[in-house]
Structure formats: structure tokens, C-alpha cells
Structure 1
Amino acid sequence: MTESVTAEIHHQHRDVNGGWLRPAVFGAMDGLVSNFALIAGIAGGQADQKVVLLAGLAGLAAGAFSMAAGEYISVASQSELAMAEIEVERLELARHPKAEMRELAQVFEARGVDPDVAAEVARQLSRDPDEALEVHAREELGVAPGDLPSPVLAAGSSFLSFAIGAMLPVLPYLLGATNLWPAAVIAGLGLFGAGALVSRITTRSWWFGGLRQLGFGALAAALTYGLGALIGSNGL
């Protein structure tokens, strides 16, 4: 009588293939940095409060929709390419099953599995067409048929995060601010906080992540402010 032994699981992994983290982080940083830089450039040109506010709101709307559309198209195109290659693999498995089984065995051998064992594993995996397709796709393409990122999720994450990031430097002007300093303080705190928050799901320390985001954002805003001041002083 054979006793079934279940392996103990001592850890869990977070979802790294969902397709939401990169667009969310990129959207928030892009919204905060680009919109604050836009506001700084307009303010540097000595524009009044209403013009700066209008520019900030326009930048928020245009950027959020642009980011969402770009993410949807890029992720959808990547998924369509992957599905097309997976379909090629599906046809090869149907037309040349033995050749594909030998190819899979060679993959296992290249990873150090004994030839006899590799051949047996490949034979058993090849009995189920769906399982065989998934294994071949993972080994040859680095993807799985049911594990592709969602274009809708990527677009939604990008839209919301960009809008939230872009709103931060606009808030002081909505509340009646007449100069750039309140927006600069809020944008700086937002950049540092976002960088520190992202570090919680990576291996970086919170202060490094915060300072890195703050440094890049401050540089972009300073350059744009200087450009706006230069253009404004020349009466252009």
C-alpha cells in the first residue's frame, strides 16, 4: 500500500505576472512628475493662477487617457503576438508530436536530467495536449497560454494611478494657492512617499526608493521651470 505524501508549503509568492504593477507605478510617477513639471513650466513663465490651474487639469486629463490607451494597445499587442506564437506551437504538437516530445526531452537533458528520465518525463507530459502545450510554451516562449497580462487591467491601473499622481500638484491651486511652493511641497512629499511605498514590494530600502523618485522628479521640474522662466522673460 502506497502512502501519499503531500509536500509542506512554507512560503507564498506574490503575483508577478498580473500586468498591473508596472503600469501602476509608471502611471503614478509619470502623472506626478510630468504634471508638476508642466505646472512648474507654466508658473515659471509668470502665468497667473487660473492659467496654471487650467494647464494642470488639462495635463491630468490628457495624460491619463493617453497612458491608458498606450498601455492597452501595447499590452494587447504583446499578448496577441504571444498567442500567435502559442498557436504555432499548438500546430507543431498536432503535426509532429514525436519530434516535439524529443525536443522537450532535450530541454530537460540540458538542465541536467538524465536522458532516460528526461525522455520518460517528456513522454508523460505529452499525453495531455493542453499540458504539453503549456510546458512547450513556457520553455520555448517564456509564457503560458492562460497566464498573459490583461490589457484592461493594465489600462485601468495606468489611468487611475496617473490621475492620482497628476492631481497632487494641482490640489493647492484648486484650494486657492497663488504660487508654486505649495504644489512643490506636495509633489515632493508625493514623490518620496510613492518611492518609499514601492520599495515595500521590492528589495530596495524605503529611503533609497523615496530619494530616487524625489531626485528625478525635482530635476525634471527644475529644468522645466527654468525653461518656462527663460521663455517668459523673453516675452515669448
Structure 2
Amino acid sequence: MSTAGGHPAPVPGPTETTRIEHEHADVSGGWLRAAVFGAMDGLVTNTALVAGVGGGGAAPRAIVLAGVASLVAGAISMALGEYTSVKTQNEQLELEVDKERRELARNPAGELDELVDMLRARGVDDRLARSVAVQLSRDPETALRLHVVAELGLDPEDRPSPVVAAVSSFVTFGVGALIPLLPYLFGFSLLWAALVCGGLGLMVAGALSSWFTPRPWWYGGGRQLLFGAAAAGITYLIGAAIGVSVT
């Protein structure tokens, strides 16, 4: 192929691969699970509590008092529970990492064979698996991390923060538990208004949490609304039954 002047047209060179930068969400930091759990727990707990106490015929002042007490106690309990559970998980991981480190020091040949088997199980050819395993095992920390990730499914260098989990659950539980109390705090002494606020809060919280998942917003919101409505309905009936029997 030639150009108009008789010179050959330039041959297109090989195309360069474009490197596309992308980031993944933090799925192990501990804040998202704790935040979602705290918000949903606060909303469901206080919506159900308001329904139960209100269904039993309690005065608005008593409902607010019970709701605030539930908010404070629940937020503290959630924070302490999240901190302890995440801290315990990290300490257990440290124990397993130390166990694997001792095995690497005590039986390096056996651990090398184990690493070769892991690579073979992932489709690497036998000879290449042995060569790669030998190269990776030259750095004890790299070998240790590979063994821990393969055997436990957890990265020892990427652990959730117990403080972040505790703070996230404390704040979101408090916000969620406050929503059903808003009508009473603003002077509307109507049980149905508090339940509507709780339902809207559940719908919004569920829709927001679906942002981090492949689910559509209406699915996440509707699911949480259904769960909250079931809890509120049950506690309302129990509160009404107890209120009638007491009076």
C-alpha cells in the first residue's frame, strides 16, 4: 500500500495496553458492617420498643424515657460488643499467624511442599509451581503471608480496626434509635407518627446500605422495612396484651 507521493504507508505499530486504574471498597476495615448493623439495630430496637410501650397504653413521657434509655444503653452495648468481637478476631488471627510462623521455622521443607500444592491447586504447572514456591519462600514473611491467606482466608496485614467498628456502631445505633422518637421530641404525641418515622428510617437505611451491594435500592429498603414492621407488630401486640392484663 502506498501514499499519493509513491512512498509506502507507515505500518501501524503494536497497540499499547491501557492500564485501567480502579479501586476496591474496604471490605475488611470493620466500619461498614458495624455501621449497617448499628443503624438497623437502633431503628428496629426503638421502633419496636415504641410500638410495644405505646401499644400498652403508656404516656408519651414514659415512651420518650424508655426510648432514650434504650438509645443510650444500646449504643454503649453495641460499641463494647463490636470492639470486643473485632479485637478477639484479631487476637485469634495473631495466634494462628504465630502458629504458622513456628511451622515454617520447624519444618521449612514440609511448608515448601505445602505451598507447591497450593499453587498446583490453582492451576500452576508442577515445575513452575515448585520454582515459584522456592522463590517466594526466600522471604520468610512473604511465605508466611501466603500460607496464612491460603489456609485461613485472611490477610494478616489487613485487619479490621476494633476502635473504628466500635465508634461506627455507637454513632449509627444512636442515630437509628433516635428516629422513632423524633415525633415525641417535637411535641407530636401520636404513636402512628413515631412508627411512620421508624419505617421511613428503615427504608432509607436499607436503601443506603444497598449502595455497597449489587442489590437495587428498593430491595434493600423494602427488606429492612419488612423486618422492622414484623418486629414492631409483634411487640405492639405483646404490649397491648400486657397493658390490658395489667389494667
TM-score, normalized by the shorter chain, greater than 0.5: yes
Q: TM-score of the superposition, structure 2-length normalised?
A: 0.90
1:168 aligned residue: 179
Which residue of 1 is the match for residue 241 of structure 2?
230
Residue number among 20, 29, 52 corresponding to 2:40 in the alignment: 29
* Alignment match, 1:119: 130
**After the TM superposition, which residues 1-236 of structure 1 pair with which residues of structure 2 at under 5 Å, given as runs?**
8-235=19-246
For 1:77 and 1:30, the matched residues in 2 are separated by: 22
Cα distance in 2 for residues equivalent to 1:221 and 1:212: 14
- Distance, in Å, in 2 between the alignment partners of 1:74 and 1:85 is 17
Superimposed CA distance per residue, residues 149-202 of structure 1 (whole angstroms, 9 cap, x where no aligned partner): 111111111111101100101111111121212211111111111111111110
Distance across 2 between alignment mates of 1:9 and 1:116: 32
Matches of 2:19 and 2:108, distance apart in 1: 35
Unaligned runs of 5+ in 1: none
Deviation at 1:134, TM superposition (A): 0.8
TM-score, normalization by structure 1: 0.94
**d(CA) in 2 for partners of 1:165, 1:118:** 52
Contact kept, 8 Å, 2:183 with 2:190, in 1: the verdict is no
Indicate how the Cα distance of structure 1 residues 223 and 174 shifts in structure 2: closer, same or farther if over 3 A, else same: same
Question: Unaligned regions of 5+ residues in structure 2, if any?
Answer: 1-15
Q: What is the one-letter code of the residue matched to 2:99?
A: V
- Kept in 1, the 8 Å contact 2:137–2:143? The answer is yes
Once residues 102 and 17 of structure 2 are traced to their aligned partners in structure 1, the CA distance between those partners, rounded to angstroms, is: 36
Larger Rg computed on CA atoms: 2
Shift of 1:12: 2.3
